[in-house]
Structure 1
Amino acid sequence: MVRLHFERELSLPDPLRVARARSVPHLGPRILFFSGGSALNAISRQLKQYTFNSIHLITPFDSGGSSQTLRVAFDMPAVGDLRSRLMALADETVLGQPEVYALFTHRLPRDAKPGALRAEVAQLRDGKHPLLSAVARPMRALIQNHLNHALDHVPADFDYRNASIGNLILAGGYLSQGRALEPVLFLMSKMVDVRGTVRTIVDENLQLGAQLQDGRQIHTQRLLSGKEAPPIDSPITRLFLSDGRQELSAADYPLLKRNRKLIQSADVICYPPGSLYSSVAVNLLPAGVGKAVAGRCVPKVYLPGLGTDPEALGHSLADQVEALLTPMRADAGKTRPARDFLTHVLCDTSRSEAECAAVTERHGVPCLRLPLALPDRPKYDPAIIAELLVSLG
């Protein structure tokens, strides 16, 4: 047994809470995540067995992979992480919309020749592609309208290799809805019966910026992640919003009112595993996030990533916690105690006792070591994490 928020004791996971949530997932807890990337997708798939009410506020500032191709083509926010999370939370059973799910998760071949790619795109445009023709009307017509809107506006030199059909549909919806993501995210959620709420933290076409310890500034996410560019060789000291060239004031990009209401309704707030800065901390930058989090008196937990995170170069576990607290304190007040924003750090037993003790000593936040990882690789066990979070709710 461990002592948690509000001085109540729980076993982690709590079998009674887990069983109750599994029996009535439509009444499950409202667990809110600040996230991006794919690190949370396996946990999200597991979580929908216990609650249909999880909330995912996701960064639209990714600038890598196929998302970057669309950003350049349409001058738009990144949609890849949003689509990925929608699919992770979708009802994949026959009771849902498996044909729509199959279409939204399809990618064009990575190594196909230009002629073959053009032929498949032509099938999609004409509604003759097997994945599209399998979708029942009138949904098929609606999807094709969005898809063709994107195809009508792609540049002549657009690279279709490995292109996500779901991303193209989102892009077409974004363009047809007056360059707004929220309406098309809502529509896609209904199409695949998403078991939760997925929203962009702000509906803005911005970049992520970072100040490095050696004085350099980086102005796009893909230069931080170590995937499409060499890993950074100097620690990150500060994160900020950018237009791709210069720093922007967070006050000019406030948290959307509807997202503030979601934070205010959460039963649990979680800073989940993922790239420390570009997947998690970036969501804490917009004005109003820190105040909203501080104003909600519920368990607020950090699950630090396992393995090596190139963005956390030179960071101890206590430094990683500081990276989360800094943007929220900048918004809500620099003297606010850490526990206004974070009540617990939950670590796998692979973390040393000394690392956990340093978190508590520096920030005054309990740091618990629990067996949370898969036995054969440095990833969290999705079943254990889902049940743990449900127990907190």
Structure 2
Amino acid sequence: MRLARYRKAPELGPKILFFSGGSALRTFSEVLAGYTHNSIHLVTPFDSGGSSAELRRAFSMPAVGDLRARLLSLADDSVTGHPEIAALFSHRLTNRNGKISPEKGLEDLSTGKHALLKAIAEPMRSLIQSYIAEFRQQMPDNFDLADASVGNLILTGGYLLHNRSLDPIAFLFGQLIKTRGTVRTTTDADLQLEVELENGRTITGQHRFTGKETAEIDSPIKSIKLSGEADDVDTLDASKVAKETRKLIDSAELLVFPPGSFYSSVIANILPKGVGKAIHKNPAPRVYVPSLGTDLETLGMTLFDQIRVLDRHLSSRAANGRSKNSGIDFLLFDSRLLEISNSQVESIQNDLGIQIIDVDLAKDDEDLNRYDDVKLAEALLALT
């Protein structure tokens, strides 16, 4: 009955908060929007590879790729939304078939001549054009535009115009494309992820240890921290983490640590100071949904190990009068998709006091590396 009510009036759905990266929950977010338009997504701004690296080098800024991806996955692409804006946001500058060079494409966008921009009604067209023009004006001469995401360029232009702050531009474009939920980054400081391996090696830069672009992990990860300019690191205290972010965490009815790269997506969101304190203040249930398939970041780790690491970063032993041993309330998974020993089950339940919810989350096509998006959404909604 509750699920039926959510489907009938998703605008009145629960506030479920997800700490994640950008790509792991792409299709899941589309499904979730059918049940609630009030989900909250705090995504990481620490990507250091691909086109994000080019923007970060040029402007000394946080990564915006994950923010763009999640905004688009929650966008209303129906006739009641603004699919023409989403189409522009999804476009990439390319010179396939030798037709239009990336430089010419950016020029057409900044001067209002591009067909995708012309399809957008005023006053939104002029606003978006102003962000693109700002990006083009500040773009270094040696900037590589090949295959650049227009959405990333727009967000960057807005970031530069709004005093190097991501929250205003994330809010604005959430409104423009009618995002069915709230998407923010945990911080807009220009920082990198740095991991120390068990063998003593230190690796700086997310793309170097996720295994997506390079695979430099040859030993289990021992610890992770934020690194960057001293001024940026020092400002990440409880008074500097965005007030809006703290309010969003405080308003959540369920806190979810979802599937995704364990350190660079899940743990990374807890690292900025102020996030953990905001989590502690909220008595809402906390649930961990472990990833399926291969995650190089969990090399040498059992599921019990993952939960202990997550708990250590949450540091919620006595928050809100909790007498339990762990900062996690529920472990949600499907034992047919993720094997776990009886000893781990006993340790998770007895030593950490976590309730295990072992339910059917399998896809019908027998893909053992992904949860079924509908089943996972409905299982989480049942906990609200």
Measure, in 1, the Cα distance between the counterparts of 2:65 and 2:323: 35
Please say if 1:50 is aligned against 2:39. no
Q: Quick check: 1:262 aligned with 2:253?
A: no
- 1:380 aligned to 2:371? yes
Equivalent residue for 1:391?
382
Give the whole-Å Cα distance in 2 for the aligned partners of 1:386 and 1:17: 13
Q: Secondary structure at the match of 1:392?
A: coil
Of the candidates 326, 333, 339, which is equivalent to residue 352 of structure 1?
339
Q: Secondary structure at the match of 1:270?
A: strand
Q: Kindly state the Cα deviation for residue 182 of structure 1 after the two structures are TM-superposed.
A: 0.9
Asked if 1:314 corresponds to 2:300, the answer is: yes
TM-score by length of 2: 0.91
Provide the rounded CA distance (Å) in 1 between the counterparts of 2:351 and 2:124.
Answer: 54
Instruction: Indicate the SS of the match to 1:368.
Output: strand
Query: What is the Cα deviation at residue 337 of structure 1?
Result: 6.2
RMSD: 2.4
- Render the CA deviation track for 1:214-237: whole Å, top value 9, x for unaligned: 112222111111122224011111
- SS of 2:183's partner is strand
Q: 1:99: how far off?
A: 0.6
Counting aligned pairs with the same residue, the percent is 46
Counterpart residue number, 2:114: 129
> How many matched pairs?
377
Matching residue's letter, 1:311:
E
Tell me by how many angstroms 1:161 deviates.
1.6
Query: After alignment, is 269-278 or 366-375 more displaced?
Result: 366-375
Map 1:83-98 to 2 at 5 A: 83-98=68-83
Deviation at residue 336 of structure 1 after TM alignment: 7.6
Q: 1:141 to 1:222 in 2, by over 3 A?
A: same
1:284-313: per-residue Cα shift (whole Å, max 9, x none)? Answer: 112232232233222211111110001111
Alpha-carbon distance between aligned partners in 1 of 2:235 and 2:350, rounded to the nearest angstrom = 30
Instruction: Determine which of 209, 229, 238 is the counterpart of 2:194.
Output: 209
Secondary structure of the corresponding residue to residue 188 of structure 1: helix
Counterpart residue number, 2:327? 341
Question: Cα–Cα, structure 1 residues 216 and 141, in superposed 2: closer, same or farther, change >3 Å?
Answer: same
- Number of the residue aligned with 2:148: 163
Q: Output the amino acid matched with 1:95.
A: T
Q: Structure 2: how far apart are the matches of 1:162 and 1:311? A: 28
Superposition deviation, residue 249 in structure 1:
6.2
Q: CA deviation at 1:372?
A: 0.9
Report the CA distance shift for 1:240/1:105 in structure 2 as closer, same or farther (over 3 A): same
Q: How many Å separate the matches in 1 of 2:350 and 2:176?
A: 48
Give, as a single letter, the amino acid of the residue that structure 2 aligns with 1:313: L
Matched, 1:365 2:350: no
Is the contact between residue 317 and residue 327 of structure 2 (CA under 8 Å) also seen in structure 1? no
Match of 2:286 in 1: 300
| Structure 1: distance between partners of 2:137 and 2:226 | 31
Residues 61 and 188 in structure 2, CA contact (< 8 A), matched pair in contact too: no
Equivalent position to 1:82, from 64, 67, 92: 67
- Distance in 2 (alpha carbons) for counterparts of 1:175 and 1:221: 24
CA separation of 1:171 and 1:338: change in aligned 2, threshold 3 A:
farther
User: What are the ranges of 5 or more consecutive residues in structure 2 without an aligned counterpart?
Assistant: none
The residue identity in structure 2 corresponding to 1:80 is G
